[in-house]
Amino acid sequence: MNKNYSFKSCLGEIDILFDVDERFSSIKTLLENVPRSKATVQTNLRIIIQYAQERKVYLSDDRYTLTIQGDTIDHLDNPFNLVGILQAIIRFTGLHSTQHGIVLLHGSAAVYEGKAICFGDDGLSNAKTLSSLEIALCSHRYIGDEFLFLDTISKKIHGCPYNPLHIRDIVKEHLESVHNYQLLFTGFTPSQAGNFINPSKLFTIDDGKKLHAFIFVYFQKPDSSPKVYKLTRSESYIAVKNMVAAHIIKLLYPQFDRMQFTEQRDVSDQIDYGKDLVNKVIGDMKAEEHIEKIAAIPCYRFYITDPCEIPVLCKQL
């Protein structure tokens, strides 16, 4: 009979109990070595990672237990395993950390001229990862890709450095052809989902920095001049609400996730969740008060034709 490794960990400043099948030694090592702060909130949350023929991620009815299962999921050089497991764990954490004022955001963040900037997903914006890389190539300081935790009191933003940077082929092509920047090592098997690399192999990780601004990038017609638009408070609220809802929607409704852990496939098409679903999830999380606090941080839209315009526009903030 197989046994489980049981240990407590801390993500998003909340306490979580892990039960990991002993056959999954790589997953156990990954989770035990995750850089983490001391838990400030004790919970009865539990994450079970178990062996099964069918790959699956599901929540208990009360949403206090997350189960991740599969057979070959311990092969973490496969990005669908590593990213699939981490995104389920981080989203589960975000589902529960929000009520304690630690909010999970869908975005990518880096530092430019000493300022922490988050490129977010407002539901229609583009190129979060590419945008953060553009300014990180200038500063050589990165915060995190895809999963970001924001303390709504201190306004400090934290990445998840154990989560690899996801560089799709179109981003890789831009880095190589425009910046002559070669990604010689990823550490993961290249796949249809693109390339994956630990961000610490490229940049200095700058964690726990006070956030200066949110930016939502829009591509416009060729030959248009780049411009910056500062969102009103009501527009900021809507944009932030979409950022907060995005990952939780993918946890609760996995059909909306572009990167599928269960089917090991990835799509690049943008997915529209719909305003009603966003409002429902935010209401269920009781996140409105936290969104009001986050929306006080300056929010901007960048209208560009070329990603290289992003650092230039950042100088205007």
What percentage of the chain exceeds 90 in pLDDT? 63
Please say if the pLDDT value at position 295 is more than 80: yes
State the pLDDT at residue 207. Answer: 86
- What pTM value is reported for the model? 0.92
State the pLDDT at residue 269. Answer: 61
| Domain limits, the chain | 4-99, 103-314
State the pLDDT at residue 263. Answer: 72
Structural tokens at position 161: 């450095």
State the pLDDT at residue 1. Answer: 53
Please say if the pLDDT value at position 198 is more than 90: no
Q: 103-314 has which CATH code?
A: 3.40.50
Please say if the pLDDT value at position 271 is more than 80: no
State the pLDDT at residue 179. Answer: 92
Using an 8 Å Cβ cutoff, are 294 and 152 in contact? yes
State the pLDDT at residue 94. Answer: 94
Structural tokens at position 63: 């949403």
State the pLDDT at residue 266. Answer: 65
Q: Residue 296's closest CA among 180, 219, 182, 212?
A: 212
**Could you count the other beta carbons within 10 Å of the beta carbon of residue 140?**
12
Q: Give me the mean pLDDT over the 191-202 stretch.
A: 79
State the pLDDT at residue 186. Answer: 62
Q: Where are the beta strands (DSSP E) in the chain?
A: 4-11, 14-21, 41-51, 56-59, 65-70, 102-112, 115-120, 141-151, 156-158, 165-167, 195-197, 204-205, 209-219, 227-230, 259-260, 265-266, 299-304
Q: How many helices (H) and strands (E) does the chain have?
A: 8, 17
Dist. CA 79–CA 313, nearest whole Å: 33
Q: How confident is the model at residue 144 (pLDDT cuts 50, 70, 90)?
A: very high
Q: Which of 2-11, 193-202, 232-241 has the highest mean pLDDT?
A: 232-241
Q: How confident is the model at residue 15 (pLDDT cuts 50, 70, 90)?
A: confident
User: Which residue has better confidence, 109 or 3?
Assistant: 109
Q: How confident is the model at residue 181 (pLDDT cuts 50, 70, 90)?
A: confident
State the pLDDT at residue 147. Answer: 94
Structural tokens at position 235: 């527009």
pLDDT tens by residue, 19-75: 999 999 999 988 887 766 566 677 789 999 999 999 999 999 999 999 999 999 999
Q: How confident is the model at residue 4 (pLDDT cuts 50, 70, 90)?
A: confident
Using an 8 Å Cβ cutoff, are 51 and 20 in contact? no
